[in-house]
Amino acid sequence: MRRTPITVIAIAALLNSAAVASLLAAESGSISETQTGVAACYSRRLKGHRTSSGQRYDPDALTASHASIPVGTHVKVTNVENGKSVVLLVNDHMSGHGHRKIIMDISQQACKELEFGRGGEAKVKLEVEPSSSETTSH
């Protein structure tokens, strides 16, 4: 199948509009401001693997993966059991956990700071941080 320049431009525009749509969703506040559920620690075996953002997974960074919060969003994550919290950068889209109800995967460093137990899971509260454009006054 031969692709014409118009087809290539149309595909590029479609892909670009999907990226813009996710950014607009983040800016319009359509992302739930808070969410509560179970978070799990990323495996150390994933160290160096590419994330959706193109970055390599670093277990020592304060990063996370979520199914619907856009990459590039900062999220305050609080361990409901002990009240400890940390702000994480979403740099990956979470793949399905099957029957398990995991709402976020978080880095090993974040698990340490939140004092997750030996099972690597804990009940957390997620709060989307306002973007810098929302916090600056004109």
Q: What is the pLDDT of residues 8-42, one digit of tens each?
A: 444 444 444 334 334 434 444 445 578 999 999 98
Mean pLDDT of the chain: 76
Name the residue with tokens 């990323």: 42
Which strand (E) or helix (H) includes residue 113?
helix 108-114
CATH 2.40.40.10 given to domain 32-129? yes
Q: How far apart are CA 132 and CA 80, in angstroms?
A: 26
Pairing, β 34-41 against β 121-128: antiparallel
- Structure confidence at residue 51 (pLDDT): 76
| C-alpha count within 13 angstroms, C-beta hemisphere, residue 53 | 18
Structure confidence by residue, pLDDT tens digits, 104-131: 999 999 999 999 988 899 999 999 998 7
> pTM for the full model?
0.69
Per-residue CA distances from 50 to 27, 29, 47, 57, 58 (Å): 26, 28, 9, 6, 10
Residue 77: exposure state from Cβ atoms within 10 A (0-12, 13-18, ≥19):
buried
